[in-house]
Structure 1
Amino acid sequence: MEFLSSRVLLRPRDRDRSVAFYRDVLGLAVYREFPGGTVFFTGTGLLEVSGKGEAGPGPDVGLWLQVRDLAGTAAELARRQVPVLREPREEPWGLHEMWISDPDGLRIVLVEIPEDHPLRRDQRD
């Protein structure tokens, strides 16, 4: 098998509300739009918001988004009145994380990788 591309598919209860959240509140850039859907850049990934969901997200699924500056991101989200599920903190595994959710309750984990974290080290050594 050979996989050439990927994206996360999100089926919101209210597509317009979710598109507005990801575009206007989180500020994700639009990769492409098509009738009934919008695809956003999420750094090196893609998030497609399309169709209509009924059940909403389950508690075992989340969206992980890396940010450059978690404190600055938290301040910007506060200015935009985005409810915070969990304030920024350093996790036992060394990442700095905070949690928010989208309009349907999908947990979004915002992550800053500190400069001294192993994820930033060249693994070829």
Structure 2
Amino acid sequence: MRMQVLSSRVLLKPRDRDTTTAFYRDTLGLAIYREFPAGTVFFLGQGFLEVVGEGEGGASPDVALWLQVRDLADALAELAAKGVEPDRGARLEPWGLHEAWISDPDGTRIVLVEIPADHPLRVDVRQP
């Protein structure tokens, strides 16, 4: 028997929950799915991001959020207007994706990704 996953979310325990919640809500513009006294759950494409409690360890260089955006240049311009400078500017990666990196207030890397129209991730690979 296999485990059946019915729902999933990424949990972030920031050093300052209010600051991190404001970043995801106001700066990135993520819609709120649910709020409760200890945290906030945001819609994150096909999943959820929960900012909850307070952490002590800070960000790990081994963890990143991967966010697909419709237009990377537009997303970076919108973020720049809100004072967010990329940690690494937009570039075409060897695997064919356009990526730029930003960080949240705790330093968690956020990879902003635009998938070109002809990339295999967007091409229907089912047999006709």
Category of TM-score, reference length = shorter chain: over 0.9
1:34-73 map, 5 Å? 34-73=36-75
| Displaced runs of 4 or more, over 3 A | none
Aligned residue for 1:2?
A: 4
Distance in 1 (CA, whole Å) between partners of 2:85 and 2:38 is: 27
Q: Deviations over 1:33-91 (max 9, x none)?
A: 01110000011110000000001011100000000000100111111111210001110
Percent identity reads: 71
Match of 1:123 in 2: 125
Q: Select 1:110's aligned residue among 79, 97, 112.
A: 112
What is the TM-score when the length of structure 2 is the normalising length?
0.96
Structure 1: distance between partners of 2:22 and 2:53 = 15
Normalised by the length of structure 1, the TM-score is 0.98
Q: Which runs of 5+ in 2 are unaligned?
A: none
Instruction: Confirm whether residue 13 of structure 1 aligns to residue 15 of structure 2.
Output: yes
CA offset at residue 123 of structure 1? Answer: 1.8
Unmatched segments (≥5 aa) in structure 1: none
- Separation in structure 1 between the aligned mates of residue 83 and residue 102 of structure 2, nearest angstrom: 11
CA RMSD across the alignment = 0.6
SS at 1:84's partner residue? coil
Residue 76 of structure 1 is matched in structure 2 by 78
